[in-house]
Amino acid sequence: MCGIIGYTGRRNASEIIYQGLKRLEYRGYDSSGAAYLADGKLSVVKKEGKVEKLLPLLKDVKSSLGIGHTRWATHGVPSDTNSHPHRSGNIAVVHNGIIENYAELKGKLISDNYKFVSDTDSEVVAHLLNKNYSGNLLEAMQKTVKMLKGSYALIAICDSENRIIAARYKSPLILGYGSGENYLASDEPALAGLCETISILQDGDIAEVSSESIKIYDENLTPVSREVFPNLAVCCDLGLDNCPHYMLKELREVPDSVRFTERAFEGIRQKLSAILSDVNRAVFVGCGTAYHAAMIGKRYAESFARIPCEAETGGEFRYKQPVIDGRTAVFAISQSGETADTVEAARLALSLGAKVVAVTNSHHSELTRIAHVVVPVAAGPEICVAATKSYTGQVAALYLTANLLAKRQPEKLDKVYDLCKKTVAELNIGSLAQVCAKARGVYFLGRDLDYAVAVEGSLKLKEVSYVPGEGYPSGELKHGTLALIDEETVSVFIICDDLLADKSVNAVEQVRSRGGKTAVFTNVDRVIEKLRSETPYVFELPRCDKYLSPLLSAIAVQKLAYQTAVALGRDPDKPRNLAKSVTVE
Ligand code: M6R
């Protein structure tokens, strides 16, 4: 959470910082700030609210060196004072992560007469840098990070040094190499179009960045070298493509996420096959939407490979003493490849000897570095906080992976690509979105794979529209949840499994007979015939292999969430209280 950026070079740092923060805003958007050097003087500007609030404070600034931060609050409410950078004397610092021992450090600093103005954990870093500074910011950083517990990506500047000093432990930080200019940022999209090569700091690294050079050191300040990669974000179009929101733009890119993921899979087929060759058990791990993809991965692997499988959230898996051995494959699924719980789950699996497979859309992330093999999700940059195309990319990747595990020939995905395009273009659920926008609660129901999509639909709707509800197996409705049903609730059924369709229709009837509103997404003919006369909200999805139907029903629930959010005047790209990358526990 939080996005950080640094720049030094021939261009105006304040413009680069501002544009970079706009691109990093999906990581946090409750406040932002910048620090820069102009005429040898250090200035700090910061403001509660979205990054655009910073523009008036930066637009006339001319500087060749600066740092910036966009915040997702962990300690201290969103406010001007709690925003970063934090300053202590002639030093300013931005931080992404959590300093777990901040209270103890703060107590000691207070007894040394340091004055705290914010409620954040990060302010201790500014004061520690100040305390440890004796004319060399690099050495001050080295001493400071030795005192910290927790996670951090730190970027600091000082008014008497024409360089930026950074450090990283368990929070992402990349370096961008330019000509006569250099960059630091939380991730590649922030540097799209700015530099062609990047390297990635590893845990314990400390970096010294000037306009002419980048030097990387280990914790003892011994120089180390890190691999240099092309900046893949250079070619990415991060514009809105005439859409009012990224969520809509990215929803329209769902078909491509499926197609490009299938293509990218060919590149790892051999390596993956070798790694999975003696696997007799699989665990699928992820958080939020990625966990819902994990539920689908489990079903695929069970059905195709007939091996015992589990799906777990990262936060549960890492603390449950999982039963794992060298013949277990652990699939760590994450759009960002940065989610702390998922990364730690992968590390735990590695320590227990499992084969760890990263399924990720982020090809230079922590997860890709630690996994034995990476199954690429080729969805492209996803800016909207709500996952759309990354989810369908994950489902496509897991479908191909489970087929490989089972040594089974998968369906070619070009047909479902066409059906995805058709669903994106033609499914018109505006009327249902209006009803959901007025509902007291919206329940998503399904069985088996449809249930997995139901929980994702429910998360998506809650996340972007703030309408409460739940995703539930339709067979479980009568065991409790039915008590919640009345005329102010909407129950959205997903029915794409012919074998289970009649059971789900029973559940529709149970809701209708209690006065609840119902809607159905289905591709089963007899369901359409039976229910069309009974409920106005029967939406027909294209027929396809049942295992691929989640790709189509996902589009339906994503569209519903988007249109409900818009009907309620919400900003679906930046839902309240959230951030896209959750790099803290
Ligand atoms: O980057 P990750 O896929 O690891 O993120 C996991 C979740 O935080 C994420 O899927 C979240 O649930 C989405 N915002 C939901 O739309």
Expressed in angstroms and rounded, the spacing between residue 346 Cα and the centre of ligand 1 is 16
- Is 563's pLDDT higher than 60? yes
What is the per-residue pLDDT for 149?
A: 97
Strands 164-169 and 65-71: unpaired
| pTM for this entry | 0.87
Ligand 1 centroid from CA 161, angstroms: 39
Q: How confident is the model at residue 418 (pLDDT cuts 50, 70, 90)?
A: very high
Amino acid at 442: V
Residue nearest to atom 4 of ligand 1 (CA): 334
- Pocket-forming residues, ligand 1, beta carbon under 6 Å: 287-290, 334-336, 339, 342, 385-387, 459, 463, 581-582
Ligand 1 atom with the shortest distance to the CA of 578: 14
Q: Which run of H or E residues covers position 399? A: helix 389-405
> Which residues, 6+ apart, have CB-to-CB distance to 171 below 8 Å?
96, 97, 151, 152, 153, 186, 583
Inter-residue contact 186 to 173 (CB < 8 Å)? yes
The residue whose CA is least distant from atom 11 of ligand 1 is: 288
Which parts of 214-365 are beta strand (E)? 214-217, 228-230, 281-286, 309-313, 328-334, 355-360
Distances (CA, A) of 447 to 440, 480, 490, 512, 527: 24, 16, 18, 18, 15
- pLDDT of 442 reads 98
* pLDDT for position 343: 95
Pocket test residue of 582, 583, 584, 585 for ligand 1, highest count of atoms within 8 A of CB: 582
Task: Name the residue of 388, 580, 584 to mutate for ligand 1: max ligand atoms within 8 A of Cβ.
Answer: 580
Give just the sign of the alpha carbon dihedral 97, 101, 107, 113.
negative
Mutate to test the pocket of ligand 1, among 171, 285, 338, 339 (most ligand atoms within 8 A of CB): 339
Per residue in 346-373, pLDDT (tens digit) is 999 999 999 999 999 998 888 999 999 9
Ligand 1 mean position to 287 CA, how many Å? 6
The atom number, within ligand 1, closest to the CA of 286 reads 4
Residue with CA nearest ligand 1 atom 14: 386
> Alpha carbon of 1 to those of 33, 181, 187: distances in Å?
15, 26, 12
Residue 581 has pLDDT above 80, yes or no: no
Q: What's the pLDDT score for residue 512?
A: 95
Pairing of strands 174-177, 86-88: unpaired
Confidence label for 236 from pLDDT (cuts 50, 70 and 90): low
Q: Kindly give the number of the ligand 1 atom that is closest to the alpha carbon of 390.
A: 3
Would you mind telling me the total number of residues written for the chain in this entry?
585
Q: Which long-range contacts (CB under 8 A, 24 or more apart) does 131-136 make?
A: 133/89, 133/90, 133/91, 133/158, 135/160
Whether 1 shows a pLDDT value over 80: the answer reads: no
Q: In angstroms, rounded to a whole number, what is the distance separating the alpha carbons of residues 11 and 524?
A: 59
> For residue 160, what pLDDT band results from cuts at 50, 70 and 90?
very high
pLDDT at 234: 55
pLDDT at 29: 85
- 124 Cβ partners below 8 Å, 6+ apart? 99, 102, 105, 106, 109
- Mutation test residue for ligand 1: of 335, 338, 571, the one with most atoms within 8 Å of CB: 335
Atom of ligand 1 nearest to the CA of 581: 1
pLDDT tens digits for range 161-172? 999 999 999 999
Q: Output the CA 236–ligand 1 centroid distance in Å.
A: 21
Q: Over 70: is that where the pLDDT of 157 sits?
A: yes
Tell me, what's the pLDDT at 27? 86
DSSP string for 155-178: EEEETT-SSEEEEEEBS--EEEE-
The pLDDT of residue 235 is above 70? no
Distance 99 CA to ligand 1 centre (A): 23
Question: Tell me, what's the pLDDT at 575?
Answer: 93
Q: Which atom of ligand 1 is nearest to the CA of 288?
A: 12
Least confident of 180-184, 221-225, 559-563, 574-578: 574-578
Q: What is the DSSP string of 170-221?
A: BS--EEEE-SSEEEEESSGGGGTTT-SEEEEPPTT-EEEE-SS-EEEE-TTS
| Mean pLDDT score across all residues of the chain | 95
Of 446, 524, 518, 529, nearest in space to 487 by CA: 518
Beta-bridged to residue 67, according to DSSP, are: 6, 35
Instruction: Pick the residue whose CA is nearest to atom 10 on ligand 1.
Output: 289
For 238-254, what is the mean pLDDT? 92
Range with the poorest average pLDDT among 319-328, 391-400, 436-445, 576-585: 576-585
Which atom from ligand 1 is nearest to the alpha carbon of 362? 1
CA of 12 to the centre of ligand 1 (A): 34
Residue nearest ligand 1's atom 7 by CA? 288
Residue whose token pair is 């974000």 = 233
Distance 59 CA to ligand 1 centre (A): 34
Q: Which residues are tagged catalytic? A: 2, 580
Residue 237: per-residue pLDDT? 56
Q: Among the atoms of ligand 1, which is closest to the Cα of residue 335?
A: 3
Q: Identify whether the C-beta of residue 210 lies closer than 8 Å to the C-beta of residue 65.
A: no
The H-assigned helical ranges of 406-512 are 414-426, 430-438, 449-465, 501-512
Share of the chain above pLDDT 70, in %: 99
CA geometry: angle at 397 spanning 395 and 399, to 5°? 70
Asked if pLDDT for residue 424 goes beyond 80, the answer is yes
Task: Tell me, in angstroms, the distance from the centre of ligand 1 to residue 134's CA.
Answer: 43
Q: For residue 85, is the peptide bond before it cis, meaning its omega torsion is within 30 degrees of 0?
A: yes
- Separation of alpha carbons 244 and 285, rounded Å: 33
Residue nearest to atom 12 of ligand 1 (CA): 288
Minimum mean pLDDT range among 92-101, 150-159, 188-197, 333-342: 188-197
Is residue 81 over pLDDT 70? yes
Distance 527 CA to ligand 1 centre (A): 33
pLDDT score of 391 more than 70: yes
